[in-house]
Structure 1
Amino acid sequence: MIIEWNINKKRGNFRPVLSYSIKLEEFEKELGLPQVVMESTIPEPPNSWSASCLPEKCERSGETCSTYRLYTPNHKKGEVEGKFTLPWRTDSDYPEIQDSFTRLRDHFETILKEAYNSHPVDLNGRLELSEETRKYIAGGLISQRFLEAVGF
C-alpha cells in the first residue's frame, strides 16, 4: 500500500487542505483484503466547508475540532483519494496526519499478514470400487456375460 499526501495553504486566513491518495499494490489486491476503517486524529475544524477562518472565529476562537475518518481502498478498485480541510494554525504543523496514516498502515499490515497466511488450496480426489466389492460381484458379472455370449 502506498500512501501519499500533500498539505496546501494559501497566504492569509485560508485553511490548509490535505489531499491524499492510497493505492494498493497488485499483490495486495489479489488477496481480497477488506477495507480498514478507522477514526483518525486528523482534526476537522468547525464549519469545515468554509475555505477560510477569520480571527476569533471557529478554531481560532477556541472551538474544538472533531476528527476525520480514514479508510483503505477496497481490493477491487485498489485506490482512494480524498481531501480534508484542516484547521487554521499559526505554525502550520499537523503531526496528526503522519500519526494517523501510520496507524492506518499498521492496521492494514495486520490484516495483510493474516490474509497472506491463508494459503491457497487445490485439492482433488478420486474413489473407485473397493477390492472387496469387485470380488463380490465378479462371479455374477462373468456368469451374465457368458450367458449373453451363448445367446441367453
Structure 2
Amino acid sequence: MKIDWQIKKKRGNFRPRLTYTITLESFEKKLAIHAVQVESHIPMIPGSHLSYCLPGEHERSPSWKPDRYHVFQVPYFKDGYTDGFIRLPFKDSGHYPEVVSSFKKLREAYEKKVRSVYACPPIEQTGSLGISEDTRSQIASGVTADRLLSLFG
C-alpha cells in the first residue's frame, strides 16, 4: 500500500487542506483483504465547510476541545485506490504531526491484516472415487455372468 499526501495552506487565516491518495499494490489486491479502517488522530473541526477560521472562532477558540476524529480506510481491494481531502484545524505553528501518525496507524493495522491473510496458503486438491472393493466382491459374480450372457445374446 502506498499513501501519498500533501498539506497546503494559503497565507492568512485560511485552514490547511490535506489531500491524500491510498493505492494498493497488485499483490495486495489479489489477497482480497476486507477494508481496514482506523480512527485517525486528526480532529474534526467545527464549521469544516469554511476554508478559513478567524481568531477566537471554532478551533481557534480557547475553549475548543476536539471530540470527534476523522476515519481513514484502506481502499476496497477490487478498486485498489481511494483519495480524499480534509480541512485541518488552523494552527499557528503549521505543524501537523497527527497526519503522519494517523497514516502510520492505518498502515500498521493494514499490514497486520496483510500478514494474517498472506499466512493462508493457496491449495489445490483433486480426487477420484471408484467402486469399493467390498461392493466389487459382492457383485462380481453377477456382473461377470451378465457380461458373458451379453456376448451370446
TM over 0.5: yes
- The TM tier, using the shorter chain, reads over 0.9
What is the aligned partner in structure 1 of residue 121 from structure 2? 119
1:29 is paired with a residue of what secondary structure?
A: helix
Give the partner amino acid of 1:103: K
| TM-score of the pair, normalised by structure 2 | 0.93
Aligned residues: 151
Give the partner amino acid of 1:108: Y
Give the partner amino acid of 1:13: N
Alpha-carbon offset, residue 31 of structure 1: 0.3
- Take 2:40 and 2:152, find their aligned partners in 1: how far apart are those partners? 88
- Take 2:58 and 2:147, find their aligned partners in 1: how far apart are those partners? 98
Give the partner amino acid of 1:4: D
Deviates more, 1:124-133 or 1:11-20: 124-133
Say if 2:37 is the partner of 1:70.
no
Say if 2:42 is the partner of 1:79.
no
| Conserved 8 A contact 1:45-1:64 | no
Say if 2:141 is the partner of 1:128.
no
1:22 is paired with a residue of what secondary structure?
A: strand
Give the 4+ runs in structure 1 shifted more than 4 A: none
Alpha-carbon offset, residue 132 of structure 1: 3.2
Q: Aligned-pair RMSD on alpha carbons? A: 1.2
Alpha-carbon offset, residue 9 of structure 1: 0.1
2:86 is paired with a residue of what secondary structure?
A: strand
Alpha-carbon offset, residue 130 of structure 1: 2.3
Unaligned runs of 5+ residues in structure 1 are none
| TM-score of the pair, normalised by structure 1 | 0.93
- Take 2:81 and 2:151, find their aligned partners in 1: how far apart are those partners? 72
